[in-house]
Chain A
Amino acid sequence: MRRYLLRRIFQNILTFFLFLTAVYLLLDAVPGDFGDLYLSDPRLTPDERQVLRARLGLDKPVLERFGIWLVNLLQGDMGISFSNYPRKVLDVIVERAPRTILLFLSSTVISYYVGFLSGKVLAWRRGGPLEYTTTIAGIALYTVFLPWFALMMVWLFAFTLDIFPIGKFLDPVLWRAAPVDANYVFHRILLTAVIGGLVLFVWLYFAQRLDPAKRRPVGWAGLVVVIVGAFLYWNTSGVGKYALDISHHLLLPIMTLTVVNFAGVMLLTRNSMLETLREDYIMAARAKGLKDAVIRDKHASRNAMLPVATSFILALAFVLDGGVITESTFSWPGMGLTLLTAAQTQDVPMVIGALVFTGVLALTGHLVADVLYAFLDPRIRYS
């Protein structure tokens, strides 16, 4: 297992460098370069232009420029954003990245968890109108045009029903008198979510070891503990209402992204379960006289999980794309929206920065998924 992990990490780093190379080649392949823009002042004489170009390092050979760019990048210097001038690209990323990470994590976790559960149950109960309707609904959600779907969500929940705000990150009016800044609050929210999630995960893991009878209530107790803990924390912190505001703005984007991902996961789990149920060891489990629920949950779903975990590795890219679209539709200032506006305003340093961030996020997600898969499949763990 350790060897597998190390190998995967090494491969990931390799891929990352391949990625950075590809990005730079892309940059370089674009006709004209940074110098043309910067030095387009018509008052400059050709000689002056030449000198300035040399000063900027634009006359050096490709490999050298790549080297400089790479070294700078790895030190965190990605230049200054044109559209957010004079902020550094890195600062913008540091500000916006946690938001996208929260959006990504929460929607992925929820959609996979709920999707897996429902797919599992759905596969077990074959036939009937339920299967038919869910398949159709699933395919519909899977193929619907995401910007339109997001728009419909906004129109329905925000515009018509007025349950959620129409977009944006927070309500400026409310925050006028705020003692702290939004990032401060947001980081706390992210931390609450992550810590709460981890605690719950560990709690449930140990609950599995107990008797089947005690498992359920202990599990629910864990959830209650986490929620109460979070509640207490925010109540005593004094900035509770601001956190609530941000969360309020968060909910609809998360919901939209989750619903779309959920459909795919559910359909995939169902198909995976159906295939797993055809396996001999399921027949053997039945022959052993085990109860249906045990066969479904312990034997079948554990194996059905594997293709779903693999699919996550592939679906990662789609979730990231979905995030970009969702953020844009809701004008929610995460990295996705940043990428888009930077592209629309030709803010090249920012675009590259956002691209690198996406690459890092994708790679990390990939690595986590690989580790998770190795953990789930003993054939990989012990070979």
Chain B
Amino acid sequence: MTDIITKSPALQTTPLATDIPVWRVRLRLLWRGIRTNVALFTENPIGLVGLAIIVVFASLIVIHPILMKSVWDRNVYDPVLGIDLAIPFHPAPPSPEHLLGTDPLGRDVLSQLMHGTRSAFILGSLAAIVNFIVATTIGAIAAYFSGVVDSIFMRIADLVLMMPVITILIVLGSLLNLEMLHLAIVIGILSGLGGTTIIIKSQALTIKVRTYIEAARVAGGNDFHIIFKHIVPNLLPLSFLYMTFTVSAAIAIEAVLSFFGILNIRMSWGVMIHTTQYAGYLLDMSKWWLIFPSSVSISLLTAAFYLVGRALDEIVNPRLRKR
């Protein structure tokens, strides 16, 4: 009777698992993982569109200093201090010398736009990094220790979530002198302490109950070792995801605040619009180059990061994963 089973053709063909070296297996799995994720990402045109927009803007950051060093005269094209004395009346409409015209103070709009891209990226990245650090650490700690620690952080998160960010920043801006760095840190902390922590914490909770954590504890790992070596690495994908959303938010927030004139930033897209308003040209459509390039850029870049975030969401978020 045994030969019914042992003579089965299926038994002859599967290779034994011990034949292949471990490092090669790991490498193969990694490569396959990357390929699947890239495939998942590109499946969704949304992510690609967002990525394309980001790349276009990023190129502006690189082009600007090149232009400033070569073709553009510093005195004329400097985004903050430049002024074109050759043209009698500012703001001047677009022309071959000034592709997007000049602003009411005589500065080249395109140059400002490019400079603003750099501020936007720097601000966004800083805020995102702070968000990442704050949310991941607090989320992991709250999930791991639970009890009182958890409650306190959740109460704080509730409070932060509840408060409108721009309102708080307007208040802060009126009391303190906010510069780019301060703004980035505040945005990072606020967004990190708020919604992101809650999401990271629930993810950390699902990790905490997995058996390898139990095993690590039995093996004698101390608390912080477990948190940072075991829990946090599994949180990284989700944390990275929320970094993109933070960048998106940071850019929009800075733009609004600069538009209101609350911040102490010399040049950014929001400042460009503020200058326009200050000079009284806000509703003047004949001077469209004063608000359209900056507003459209803000909307586009905010949307771009948001789209990339959504596309990443499909890959990273365990709930949405269609596998």
Contacts and interface: CB of A to CB of B under 8 A. Distances in A.
Contacts of B170: 324, 339-340, 343, 351
B142 to A, nearest CB: 17
Given A145-B252, A155-B283, A343-B173, A317 B291 contact: no
Contacts of B165: 317, 321
B302 interface: yes
Interface in B216-259: 248, 252, 255-256, 259
A154 interface: yes
B164 A362 contact: yes
A147 interface: yes
B282 A140 contact: no
Nearest to B167: A358
A352 to B, nearest CB: 8
B164 A324 contact: yes
A352 B159 CA distance: 17
Contacts of A154: 283
B113 to A, nearest CB: 14
A22 B159 CA distance: 10
Interface string A310-347: 00011011101100110010000000000110111010
Nearest to A31: B176
A139 B172 CA distance: 30
19 contacts: A15-B159, A26-B171, A26-B172, A139-B307, A143-B302, A144-B299, A145-B252, A145-B256, A147-B255, A147-B256, A147-B295, A154-B283, A316-B162, A317-B165, A325-B166, A325-B256, A343-B173, A358-B164, A366-B162
Nearest to B262: A343
A104 to B, nearest CB: 11
B174 A15 contact: no
Given A15-B158, A147-B256, A343 B299 contact: no
B25 interface: no
A147 B270 CA distance: 10
Interface residues on A, range: 35 or more
Interface in B171-191: 171-176
Contact of B174 (A140, A351, A362): A351
A351 B261 CA distance: 16
B299 A139 contact: no
B175 A26 contact: yes
Given A145-B299, A320-B164, A27 B256 contact: no
Given A147-B256, A351-B171, A321 B164 contact: yes
A359 interface: yes
A18 B162 contact: no
Leading 4 A-B pairs by shortest Cβ distance: A148-B295, A343-B174, A143-B303, A320-B164
A321 B162 CA distance: 11
B289 interface: no
Chain A, interface SS category: helix
B199 to A, nearest CB: 11
Contact of A344 (B156, B163, B261): B261
A159 interface: yes
Contacts of A145: 252, 255-256, 295, 298-299, 302
Interface residues of B, number: 42
A27 B176 CA distance: 10
Contact of A317 (B163, B175, B302): B163
B170 to A, nearest CB: 5
B195 A314 contact: yes
B260 interface: yes
Contacts of B155: 11, 14-15, 18
B77 interface: no
B4 interface: no
Nearest to B195: A314
Q: Most B CB atoms within 10 A — which of A166, A351, A363?
A: A351
A200 B248 CA distance: 40
Contacts of B295: 145, 147-148, 151
B175 A363 contact: no
A213 interface: no
Contacts of B261: 344
A358 B163 contact: yes
A26 B262 CA distance: 17
B152 to A, nearest CB: 10
A321 B307 contact: no
Nearest to B251: A145
A159 B162 contact: no
B177 to A, nearest CB: 10
A37 interface: no
B168 to A, nearest CB: 8
Which of A22, A27, A166 has the largest count of B CB atoms less than 10 A from its CB? A22
Interface in B258-298: 259-262, 273, 282-283, 285, 291, 295-296, 298
A30 interface: yes
Nearest to B170: A343
B166 A324 contact: yes
A146 interface: yes
Interface in A119-170: 139-140, 142-148, 151, 154-155, 159, 166
A316 B165 CA distance: 11
A359 B163 contact: yes
A93 interface: no
Contacts of B282: 151
Contacts of A328: 260
Nearest to A159: B283
Nearest to A148: B295
A30 B195 CA distance: 27
Contacts of B291: 148, 151
Interface string B131-147: 00000000000000000
A10 interface: no
A148 B283 contact: no
A352 B175 CA distance: 10
Given A15-B158, A144-B299, A317-B161, A344 B262 contact: yes
B306 interface: yes
A231 B87 CA distance: 58
Contacts of A15: 155, 158-159, 162
Contact of A348 (B174, B259, B262): B174
Contacts of A320: 164, 167
A185 interface: no
Contact of A139 (B159, B195, B256, B306): B306
Contacts of A143: 248, 252, 299, 302-303, 306
